[in-house]
Structure 1
């Protein structure tokens, strides 16, 4: 294989997103890990980095073939089951089974607790003995780096003898690898030279291209099943090729069981003090999961920046022209839903963030909000600084501005990266190390 061979079909077909009917969302709780993911139809969809409003992939799924008579696309052709094995944790187990009961994939998905890497441990189970030794498995990844499927550049790369992929657009680099290493790899342009089209043609991987630049690209890697039928895929991120590859290889070098244990422990330490067991029929399991889902929608850099949803509405029919979607902050809605879930500290954070964004001033807006989340004003003389805008006004005028805050901000929305910078130190404290 020539790693410099260039795929044909540039720039590929017009890119699309994927379904917004999600079965799960996840992220590590610690602020040092700045990756989020979504799930639907039994597969990973968008992977976000470095902010909660910046998707970098369309989807990550498997193709399964016997090389002779069929090629199953995981998303469309298999039966899906989503499990939540650990209470109060965004840890998922996905089981995707052949409709005729011949084989199935069991996947566990986490984010590295202290690194920007998504990890997916997978086990292939073969029930039909006639397929043992014949089934071949391929991982197919569709990059949409920095919110678009256009102008992505993909190539084969290696670090320390490891067989990896690299995808780059602007200031974001993405690295894709497997432990054990992929047996074969290729990159191509979607609709022309991508791995899906290659396999669906004759159930075999015929193309092994090394580069596909500036287009709508896709990556495909054949899983090495020669020794074991369990493996771990990883997608790592950074702001240059070296950092993305290094983060990925470091995460893959740690046993998946250790990564999973730390990931679950971080989330379980965030459990609300409210005991829901007496008010629910499931012991509060669904309520605890819902609280975790709410917490997962907060950005790791901008405190209080909770996006409306980690999804792209009607994404499977939309191109890249709608850059906002649900990846925006509506502070009014965020405060309401976090208050209903008993997450009082989040209501305070949301309100502080909205104050700083709508009325930026030299003053510290945190002084305008007490620990109960109520809008207040410091006791002072009749002439004082407005706690929102910093202008010198009379006390009555300042109090009036505060009490009408909700009306003034109704309907306003922001990208998390547009908000006032506040490091999320509390996540690091709660999540431990």
Structure 2
């Protein structure tokens, strides 16, 4: 039990709250109603309910809700799925056992938690609720209400009510943390957490949802997801429960007020959840990256939800920046840029997606051409300010693959529309394709006496010993020839190089020697984006940290193995990705010793990779590989 919780339980006095932070990012569950009339999402951590997002998916409105029995905080929950993105958590303590089942009201901004307590004696049962309204809990204010826990800030409000009543018994100032005593009826009660623009609206929302009953909402919640899944086919290769969960997670990461805005993850890993220097406004990962958007959308196309992919493309084009038409590194779901670096593979993402969708309308083609002009007009193109790991500039084979493929896809769409701009983009793509090795393949590197692709070169001179620091707390600079990355396989997946190209095959061996551990891979040599050796959180300037293993690489390797004619290996990769799911079937960003770390979980990209690889195995080849690129460069149509 934290000292703050102990003070709140022991006294009804108001005490100062600590600065607002968020809970660890390894969520055991993530849910929302499929119905768009309910603008609220919830996450479950190892201690119970964590962040609830309202009114959109870039705006966390709570930190957590804790159950306290006889003065002891109920921690270390066991989570199990009990419906469509619904879950039950089980807590145990001396002489008692509690089950809490969660759902949302499909018609309102309310999260409901049905509590059942079995105890061998009369028990004092309380909840500690920490609202963090509008992304920042430090400006919240508790509102006096005799039978509810109510808080507000200048933009929104929360209200927690319960059947049988809830008696406020303590609150903090500053970062508001509220405590309430529950009155159980035969060991049961239902909590309803409602949100609104004002305290009155939040309270009315919560009470209305509570009056209609938990089971009614749970039934309508499940039915909404059943209706969604019923319209989609299922691949033969995938585990049914994990596949359906993955599809629902992908759909759930779309904001309901901003169609097509799919966030990367509903959590804030490591220092992004507690360090104001790293994240002056908390919200990182609950953002829209064009790269992650492409992976989600291509998985949705494979699953049969092309409407979602069209919305994703429309959102990408809607957030193009004036006056040059580039796509920002990421945005909030409202389209407001968050981090503003430029990543050239993200300029290519809408071109690739538009080709998969066959979009040739004038508005789409003009938007894509604006992004293309930005890409090709950079002085050192195809140099990128950041490659896909977002901490280095240079000539990256993975980024260049996306740029080439994007231009070829755009040219094909323009040709279909009779647009003469196609020839310009094809010419540039062909010129870059001829120089990929010149920019990114070393013949003097330490890992092989044969040529291999590097992670990137800072200067386009892969045989030069140019040094750079990999970042993320790595202690020294490294020779660029001593850093490789599985991302070079984008050249094969996108059709720029054949799977049996000698340099590709040698780099596969080098990458496996350098980065593969068990069934998974590190991102690159010297990666520090991960945890400390003792499992502590990543932060900049606070000690050495270590990037762990990424399940997405198993999916990418499986796509490569399909092209290499080894479907059995691809099926093993699919099973490897599935093995990283936690008890709530959430797939993580990173794993260590076979288990998810406290990295972003669920990561939409990982779930998308699982869905896409399953369909690719059924099809016998990567389902999102643009044939127009493969025919042009890999002689594989």
Same fold (TM over 0.5): yes
| TM-fit CA distance, 1:317 | 6.2
Correspondence 1:13 to 2:14? no
CA distance in 2, matches of 1:262, 1:54: 25
The residue matched to 2:134 in structure 1 has which SS?
Answer: helix
Correspondence 1:331 to 2:355? no
Higher strand share: 1
Number of residue equivalences: 341
Instruction: Please name the residue that 1:46 is paired with.
Output: 51
Instruction: Please name the residue that 2:82 is paired with.
Output: 85
Comparing 334-343 with 292-301, which one deviates more in the overlay?
334-343
- Structure 1 stretches lacking a partner, 5+ long: 66-70, 190-211, 380-384, 408-433
| TM-fit CA distance, 1:318 | 1.1
Instruction: Please name the residue that 1:347 is paired with.
Output: 309
Instruction: Please name the residue that 1:397 is paired with.
Output: 421
- CA displacement 1:226-258 (0-9 Å, x = unmatched): x42110111111111221111111000012111
CA distance in 2, matches of 1:125, 1:173: 33
CA distance in 2, matches of 1:26, 1:264: 11
Q: Give 1:157-172 correspondences, 5 Å limit.
A: 157=145, 163-172=147-156
Instruction: Please name the residue that 2:224 is paired with.
Output: 266
The residue matched to 2:106 in structure 1 has which SS?
Answer: coil
Q: 2:129 aligns with which of 119, 122, 141?
A: 141
| TM-fit CA distance, 1:178 | 0.8
- Structure 2 stretches lacking a partner, 5+ long: 1-10, 324-349, 371-417, 433-637
The residue matched to 1:263 in structure 2 has which SS?
Answer: helix
Q: Are 1:304 and 1:351, in contact at CA under 8 Å, matched by a contact in 2?
A: yes
The residue matched to 1:84 in structure 2 has which SS?
Answer: strand
Instruction: Please name the residue that 1:153 is paired with.
Output: 141
CA distance in 2, matches of 1:112, 1:136: 28
Correspondence 1:32 to 2:37? yes
| TM-fit CA distance, 1:389 | 8.0
Q: Under a length normalisation based on structure 1, what TM-score does the superposition of the two structures give?
A: 0.71
- CA displacement 1:296-321 (0-9 Å, x = unmatched): 11100111100110001116961455
Higher helix share: 2
Change (3 A) 1:317 1:378: closer
Correspondence 1:123 to 2:124? no
CA distance in 1, matches of 2:274, 2:285: 13
Q: 1:314 aligns with which of 262, 270, 277?
A: 270
Q: 1:186 aligns with which of 165, 169, 193?
A: 169
CA distance in 2, matches of 1:84, 1:179: 24
Change (3 A) 1:332 1:396: farther
Instruction: Please name the residue that 2:550 is paired with.
Output: none
The residue matched to 1:293 in structure 2 has which SS?
Answer: helix
Instruction: Please name the residue that 2:178 is paired with.
Output: 219
Q: 2:318 aligns with which of 356, 361, 366?
A: 356
Instruction: Please name the residue that 1:202 is paired with.
Output: none
Q: Are 2:317 and 2:367, in contact at CA under 8 Å, matched by a contact in 1?
A: no
CA distance in 2, matches of 1:402, 1:172: 51
The residue matched to 2:220 in structure 1 has which SS?
Answer: helix
Instruction: Please name the residue that 1:175 is paired with.
Output: 159
CA distance in 2, matches of 1:24, 1:403: 48
Superposed CA RMSD: 3.4
- CA displacement 1:348-380 (0-9 Å, x = unmatched): 21111101111579xxxx9xx97962342459x
CA distance in 2, matches of 1:402, 1:96: 60
Q: Are 2:168 and 2:179, in contact at CA under 8 Å, matched by a contact in 1?
A: yes
Q: Are 2:297 and 2:312, in contact at CA under 8 Å, matched by a contact in 1?
A: no
Change (3 A) 1:119 1:399: farther
CA distance in 2, matches of 1:404, 1:111: 51
CA distance in 2, matches of 1:95, 1:42: 10
CA distance in 2, matches of 1:348, 1:73: 46
Pick 1 or 2: higher relative contact order, CA cutoff 8 A, min separation 6.
1
Q: Under a length normalisation based on structure 2, what TM-score does the superposition of the two structures give?
A: 0.49
| TM-fit CA distance, 1:179 | 0.9
- CA displacement 1:258-281 (0-9 Å, x = unmatched): 1110111011111052223x323x
The residue matched to 2:57 in structure 1 has which SS?
Answer: coil
| TM-fit CA distance, 1:402 | 12
Rg comparison, structure with higher value = 2
Q: Are 1:15 and 1:320, in contact at CA under 8 Å, matched by a contact in 2?
A: no
